[in-house]
Structure 1
């Protein structure tokens, strides 16, 4: 009679297309069949007859399977897909506006970057994110290892930050470790046994390694904001979270005052120029004054015909160049479109009850919003200039891949939001 149960379950799952849904439905129906069987046994029926009664209660396996297939069909967040395609498409605009698309190098590279970005997002969507929950130590170890490799084997620098350049293939710098730490911390924060001292060690080891490789300041900021935003959604008590946050802020202030004399000249001059650019108009303050001048000349409708030199027009200051060329109306529309991605992250997170999924989404919001706010903020003169890209718009492979990865995470969570397998909870 035991075979009758498995035959029934197989007939049901044969109607279901999704492999993940097959397993979920089989587990759920198996549980309910056992409950019904126990109920009939309590009424005095023998084991075999109780099982037959429980199966008969379920009705037609074909009909039930079709209902389950419709109910548990993997979801696709088409709104997020549309935002992804739109932003990847907008990434061509700086190339066109600055006439870089006429150069084969830029046109081919940008096309490859966009295709890779889309592939990463869809590829991550198809991966079951729940399998990562128990692999936090693996991701953390890989992130630490990557920083150590950069520290030991770097062969070039940009603005004083060491890089590991593999000729004609890829450039590896410290920010590449952020996705690994992102996945690691989402895993760590779901562990109710995580202690304060463990958090401190896990947090400061990468932080000190970032310092050791002289990472650009925005890398520290992105890492810190990501961890502490996720901390507020962790299983720590509110009292513990407040204690950790307050202690860390105090420690950072002490370190900032202590480290200032040893700060690299490039970063120090940049910070001082931000506070008073007029003091060094032909040196460190030039870039700040130039950006302010270009933004003030933009007007509502821009200067599509007038050509002026714009530093970093297709990379760090792409928002400045697009605002100058197309005007403030376009700039506002662009910020709204890019902000919709962040809003969608938050919207999906509010629909999710799985703690690991929610931490992934909250971490994604933190990483994405820091990039968006920093790039737009430095164009508006609110933040110091940092080597931070405007998500999807700035030219460059890794910024596109990072944000495509974050969108892929959201798509993966959304796809499985109705499949809460107990083995992953």
Structure 2
């Protein structure tokens, strides 16, 4: 491009405020100018005259720049931001139904708990804001790096088994890392992989098997479940044909059934009892079925308006069973309202994804909604005995740094994609005749 074209692009750029939009618009306009210039050259004009003619076709650079600035201005999805602030605020409500005896039972201090909750919430909000500012498109080329980081963390977790919690954890200063901590890295990695046309299905299968095996060795069943659900959700939204998706889905279901028949005779007695207790907890009320019956009892006594003045005996009411405590103390109406607010994230992400046509961004949103949904549905489902009791947290409400950071990252990804949703291709732009 000669001086005339460069001058035109510079004047257009001067009207655009966003740096990302400047770079994007420059690349697109440069493409159109070259295309128009080549057409005039084909008609017999020399290069300088053809470039002048192409620039004139584009019209006023100031007017064009102002229009493009308005069109490609980065936007904030304030609805998602409001949902994030609301849910982080609702996360403080469990403090209201945690009395002194509960803090003493779990060796906790009320003031320290509140301070840590504030710190965790602020860290989550800051993380979501920072991720929003990152141009997600630039992350696509780092898929292998993110996968390697996730694998490295899982390898480090192999030799750090915690006998108390029964899972592998890695303690670095005040922070505790477990296999759930790697989900953001694998979300970015798999979105990149499924959008990589050179990666065949057997490549992806091998990558999944390797990472899955590392997850298994961390002895964190909820993390294995969440990871598998996230990858499978991305696969269903990937470029592969519907026939292949049906074949893989059928193969997975058949493999699980076959594995069930093979494993069932070799189950230990305590493992068999856990499965039977989930199906019929009343027969194991003194053992494995006790917890499920306890949760059901508190849910049945909740009523519409709760039992704010009564004390309950719900264990882990600030973490795994926070939805049970919320229902028992505040009632069915409040619990339904909480679930609706949390479910609005799913609705909002799906609505945004429908308007995103850039493949990598769409995959990120689909992976984000799968990662968030499996947490919400599993936690609420075990409250009502629909799924076995697990240590899956309720997004934003359960106490802990990892649940807040993980879901704040998901929200940040959604905000990042939405912020750049109008940075769409101008290849259909028609210059003035």
CA separation of 1:147 and 1:102: change in aligned 2, threshold 3 A: closer
CA separation of 1:187 and 1:421: change in aligned 2, threshold 3 A: farther
Q: Which runs of 5 or more residues in structure 2 are unaligned? A: 427-433
Which residue of 1 is the match for residue 63 of structure 2? 63
Counterpart Cα distance in 2 of 1:162 and 1:92: 28
Which residue of 2 is the match for residue 75 of structure 1? 75
Question: In the TM superposition, what is the alpha-carbon distance from 1:156 to its structure 2 partner?
Answer: 2.0
Give runs of aligned pairs for residues 184-333 of structure 1, distance below 5 A.
Answer: 184-216=189-221, 218-259=222-263, 269-333=273-337
Aligned residue pairs: how many? 419
Which residue of 2 is the match for residue 140 of structure 1? 147
CA separation of 1:108 and 1:378: change in aligned 2, threshold 3 A: same
1:165 aligned onto 2:171 = yes
Alpha carbons 2:180, 2:402 under 8 Å: kept? no
Alignment deviations for residues 343-376 of structure 1 (CA, whole Å, 9 cap, x no partner): 1111011001111111111111111111100111
Counterpart Cα distance in 2 of 1:273 and 1:399: 28
Counterpart Cα distance in 2 of 1:340 and 1:191: 31
2:169 is paired with a residue whose SS is: strand
Alpha carbons 2:161, 2:167 under 8 Å: kept? no
Which residue of 1 is the match for residue 98 of structure 2? 98
After TM superposition, the structure 1 stretch with the greater mean CA deviation from structure 2, 173-182 or 389-398, is 173-182
Which residue of 1 is the match for residue 126 of structure 2? 119
Alignment deviations for residues 291-337 of structure 1 (CA, whole Å, 9 cap, x no partner): 01100000011111111221111110100001011100111111111
* Aligned-pair Cα RMSD in Å: 2.1
Which residue of 1 is the match for residue 431 of structure 2? none
Give runs of aligned pairs for residues 351-366 of structure 1, distance below 5 A.
Answer: 351-366=355-370
Which residue of 2 is the match for residue 13 of structure 1? 13
Give the TM-score taking structure 2 as reference length.
Answer: 0.91
1:135 is paired with a residue whose SS is: helix
CA separation of 1:200 and 1:119: change in aligned 2, threshold 3 A: same
CA separation of 1:176 and 1:421: change in aligned 2, threshold 3 A: farther
Alignment deviations for residues 33-75 of structure 1 (CA, whole Å, 9 cap, x no partner): 2232233334433221221222223333222222211111001
Alpha carbons 2:281, 2:292 under 8 Å: kept? yes
CA separation of 1:200 and 1:263: change in aligned 2, threshold 3 A: farther
Alpha carbons 2:234, 2:367 under 8 Å: kept? yes
Give the alignment partner of residue 179 of structure 1, picking from 179, 184, 199: 184
Q: Which runs of 5 or more residues in structure 1 are unaligned? A: none
Question: In the TM superposition, what is the alpha-carbon distance from 1:204 to its structure 2 partner?
Answer: 1.1
1:409 aligned onto 2:413 = yes
Counterpart Cα distance in 2 of 1:35 and 1:355: 25
Alpha carbons 2:150, 2:185 under 8 Å: kept? yes
